[in-house]
Amino acid sequence: MTPASPAPPPPPPPATPPVQDWRSLLLVYGITSTIESLGVSQIFAFLPLRLREVGLPADQVATFTGVFTSLIFVFGIVLVPFWGVWADKYSRRAVIVRSAVVEAIVFAGVALAEEPWQVAASMLLVGLQLGNTGVMLAALRDVAPRNRVGTVTALFGATSPLGFAIGPVLGGFMVNGLGWPLTAVFWSSALLSLAVVVLLLVGSREVRPPVIPEGSAVALARRAIRGVIGDPAVMRIFTIFGVSILASQMSRPYLPLLVESVHGLAPGLESAIGLVAGTAALVGALASPLAGPLGDRIGFRSVLAGTLLGGGVALLGMTLAATVATLALVAVVYSSMQAATQAMVFALVSVEVAPERRSATLNLVLLPLYVAGIIGPTMGAIVASVAGVDGVFVAAALVFLVGGAAVVASLGRRRRRERTP
């Protein structure tokens, strides 16, 4: 009697398709990120001019430009560890939509302000707007094919610098080219943000994480922070990132005033600010990816040391510019160095942090941004009140140069250890 043939194995279950095609989600999130950055860049670019419009005395504009800019991060720093936790536990889509709603309120508030304190109150709300970038990246990683994750991340990463490049240029054209009032710039950003709310509600779906975190939001946030603090290598990377962001946050609020010192109060000032700030952001975004292959060849820390030192020299050079065109050129060099610095920091995190902690670490990597976002403009305001706008750029340059020297010293120590048998 012939034995019965074994039953064939059951067919594998069909793969669960993603809840949304990665290309459509990338398009929706890319537009969202670009519009957000566009509006925020216009606040940075035109804040000194807006403060004059609402009656702040001219001799106080430099000081309060730094103070008001620091307000952006006051609320945000407390909520940094929570946005990702809330998104994964409850709803990523709701957390992202929340940002666009707050954006519209902030930009409308800046447009409606009639007193300096009303501008300050509006900017304080920006802290409730932040915290969506990591959530969008997490959703994109979950829907993108494995062989497309790098492409998706790179394309999405270019949208924020694109918005920062478009915003000041568009604002300058609206004021100087079309003859619109400065408030129209912020009203347009508010309307664009409302359009993004509709886009997100109609064009995006809820993308849940593969594993829903359990436990209280406070406990989950505390666990992620402890993981970063307890890792000396990660803390060193975060410190370097904080140094570069500190210098940037010290100087960036005062770039419009530096442009004004070169251009004067003659017609076309808004366009000059847009040229310097927008061109620098755009070229910086384009130059940033070039640092990756160079880091692969000679080492991420070596490139990091060079970009920190180069950024410091460029900041010093900005104080010597005699024309708007020269200032724009030097600002392009600085922006490229700053963008490459951040690229090297993210590269170091990706290769030196254990895989099981990489996601949590990347979610917290913007924490130095918030800390520096409070300290940097405040330091800039103090320096500006004592040494003027040029003094702010000199002080920020020194921060960059000290950071670069520290990285060079650490490279020397590492090489000596490698040569020691």
| Residue carrying structure tokens 């847009």 | 274
Question: Do 108 and 26 share a domain, yes or no?
Answer: yes
Q: Which residue blocks in 353-366 are alpha helix, DSSP H? A: 355-364
Report the domain count for the chain: 2
Residue 214 within a domain: no
Residue 33 near residue 163 (C-beta atoms within 8 A) = yes
Residue 175 near residue 50 (C-beta atoms within 8 A) = no
Question: Do 55 and 108 share a domain, yes or no?
Answer: yes
Residue 3 within a domain: no
Question: Do 173 and 241 share a domain, yes or no?
Answer: no
Question: Do 261 and 112 share a domain, yes or no?
Answer: no
- Of 174, 204, 234, which one is at a domain's C-terminal end? 204
% of the chain exceeding 70 in pLDDT: 83
**pLDDT exceeds cutoff 60 at 14:** no
Residue 255 within a domain: yes
pLDDT digit string, tens, across residues 145-166: 866 666 676 677 778 878 888 8
Q: Which residue blocks in 173-263 are alpha helix, DSSP H? A: 182-203, 217-229, 232-251, 255-263
Question: Do 186 and 73 share a domain, yes or no?
Answer: yes
Which whole-number Å values give the CA distances from 246 to 181, 347, 398, in the listed order?
32, 20, 11
> In which band, very low, low, confident or very high, does the pLDDT at 50 lie, cut at 50, 70 and 90?
very high
pLDDT digit string, tens, across residues 54-113: 998 888 888 888 888 777 777 677 777 787 778 888 888 999 999 999 999 999 999 999
pLDDT at 139: 83
Name the CA dihedral angle for 282, 286, 292, 297, rounded to a multiple of 10 degrees: -120
pLDDT digit string, tens, across residues 274-287: 888 887 777 776 76
Residue 271 within a domain: yes
Residue 215 within a domain: no
pLDDT at 161: 78
Instruction: Give the pLDDT mean for 118-145.
Output: 82
d(CA 172, CA 180): 10
d(CA 64, CA 89): 39
- Of 204, 238, 260, which one is at a domain's C-terminal end? 204
pLDDT at 2: 40
Higher-pLDDT residue of 42 and 63 is: 42
Mean pLDDT of the chain: 81
Residue 333's Cβ-side half-sphere holds a number of Cα atoms within 13 Å equal to: 18
Residue 371, both tokens: 């800390």
Q: Please enumerate in sequence order all residues whose Cβ is within 8 A of that of 298, keeping only pairs 6 or more positions apart, or say none.
A: none
Instruction: Give the pLDDT mean for 35-60.
Output: 90
pLDDT at 409: 79
- Of 141, 174, 204, which one is at a domain's C-terminal end? 204
Question: Do 183 and 235 share a domain, yes or no?
Answer: no
Residue 264, both tokens: 């004067």
Q: Phi, psi (5° rounding) for residue 72?
A: -55, -35
> In which band, very low, low, confident or very high, does the pLDDT at 44 lie, cut at 50, 70 and 90?
confident
**pLDDT exceeds cutoff 80 at 399:** yes
Residue 189 within a domain: yes
Question: Do 288 and 407 share a domain, yes or no?
Answer: yes
Question: Do 178 and 308 share a domain, yes or no?
Answer: no
pLDDT at 6: 46
The CA R_g of the chain, rounded to the nearest whole Å, is: 23
Residue 303, both tokens: 């490139």
Which whole-number Å values give the CA distances from 363 to 61, 134, 325, 357, in the listed order?
35, 6, 38, 10
Question: Do 34 and 151 share a domain, yes or no?
Answer: yes
Residue 99 within a domain: yes
Question: Do 196 and 228 share a domain, yes or no?
Answer: no
**Which of 202-206, 271-275, 359-363 bottoms out in mean pLDDT, i.e. has the lowest?**
359-363
> In which band, very low, low, confident or very high, does the pLDDT at 352 lie, cut at 50, 70 and 90?
low
Highest mean pLDDT among 23-27, 219-223, 271-275: 23-27
Residue 8 within a domain: no
d(CA 312, CA 162): 24
d(CA 400, CA 53): 34
> In which band, very low, low, confident or very high, does the pLDDT at 183 lie, cut at 50, 70 and 90?
very high
- Domain extent for 110: 20-204
Q: Please enumerate in sequence order all residues whose Cβ is within 8 A of that of 397, keeping only pairs 6 or more positions apart, or say none.
A: 247, 311, 312, 313, 315, 316
CATH of the domain at 242: 1.20.1250.20
Question: Do 200 and 228 share a domain, yes or no?
Answer: no
Question: Do 302 and 355 share a domain, yes or no?
Answer: yes
For residue 168, the tally of other CB atoms under 10 A from its CB is: 30
Residue 163, both tokens: 């918005």
d(CA 13, CA 231): 41
Residue 404 near residue 309 (C-beta atoms within 8 A) = yes
**Which of 17-31, 160-174, 365-379, 381-395 bottoms out in mean pLDDT, i.e. has the lowest?**
365-379
% of the chain exceeding 90 in pLDDT: 24
